[in-house]
Structure formats: C-alpha cells, structure tokens
Amino acid sequence: MQAARSSTLRALHSAVLQHLRVQPAQIGSTWGLFRAISAEAHAQGTCLSRSQVADRVLSVLKSSAKVDPLTVSETASFQNDLQLDTLDQVEIMMAIEDEFALEIPDADADNMKSTKDVIEYVVSHPRAK
C-alpha cells in the first residue's frame, strides 16, 4: 500500500516535473543569443528606431544657429539646400557626434553631404545612443 502510493506519487512527481523542466537549448541557439548581445555581432545597427534618429537629427539641425529651420528636411543637401559651407558642415558633424555619443572618423564625416546620409550612418552605427 505504502509502496504503491509512493510509486504513484513518484510518477505524478516526474510527470509534473516533465512539464515544468526547461529543456536545455541547442548549442547553436545559445551561442546565437550570446553573439546577438555582444557588440561585435550586432552588425544590424543601433537600437534606436529610424524615426527617432531622424527626429533627433532634424532637431539638431534646426537648433543650429547657421541653419534656417524652414529649409531643413530629411533629404536636404548641406551644400545646396541648407547653404552650409565646409566649416559649417564640420560643426554640424560635431553636433551630431555630441547628440548620439559617437566618434565619427574623418573619412566618414567628409562623405556625408545631406541629412539622409547622416540618418543612414547613425541608424547603421551599433554604438549610437
């Protein structure tokens, strides 16, 4: 009697545990999860959404003293639409660096000629905050 009850209890116990037990994941998925968190594998870009990045970039441009806020848009070219010369463009890139806590190397900063380039660059940068 005692043995029967304990064996059914044990069966019930193991059945419950079977439901509750977390199955060990495959090696690939664990590794994939770890690599997804690590900075090296995060090649997708920043965790900010594109609209957030666009809003912040536009607000940086609008609050800059050298830019007319009415001409600012997402496809505005620095040279033609916003009438910025080279030194102004350097200052704008420094302001973007301050806004998103980035360090933009010289080669990348010289290649950016419009607001769209800036937004694309920030969205694809893994370290932009």
Partner 1 sequence: MSTAAVAARRALQQQRTRVLYRKALRNVLSWAVHRDIFYVEAQKMREQFEMNKDLSNLETIDRLLYEGESRVEKFQHPDPYIVPWAPGGSKYARNPPVPSEVITVVGFEF
Q: Give CA 6 to chain center in angstroms.
A: 55
Binding partner 1 (rule: CB under 8 A), the pick from 1, 4, 20, 87 is 87
> Which residue of 90, 99, 116, 117 would you call a contact of partner 1, by CB under 8 A?
90
Question: Which of 62, 45, 44 lies closest to 99, judged by CA?
Answer: 62
Q: Contact between 63 and partner 1 (CB under 8 A)?
A: no
Considering only 45, 76, 102, 108, the residue that binds partner 1 (CB under 8 A) is 102
Q: Environment class of residue 38 by beta-carbon count within 10 Å: exposed (0-12), middle (13-18) or buried (19+)?
A: exposed
30 binds partner 1 (CB under 8 A): yes
CA dist 105 and 85 (Å) reads: 19
**Which positions are annotated as active-site residues?**
85
- Which among 8-16, 51-59, 69-77, 99-107 is the span making contact with partner 1, rule CB under 8 A? 99-107
Does 113 interact with partner 1 (rule: CB under 8 A)? no
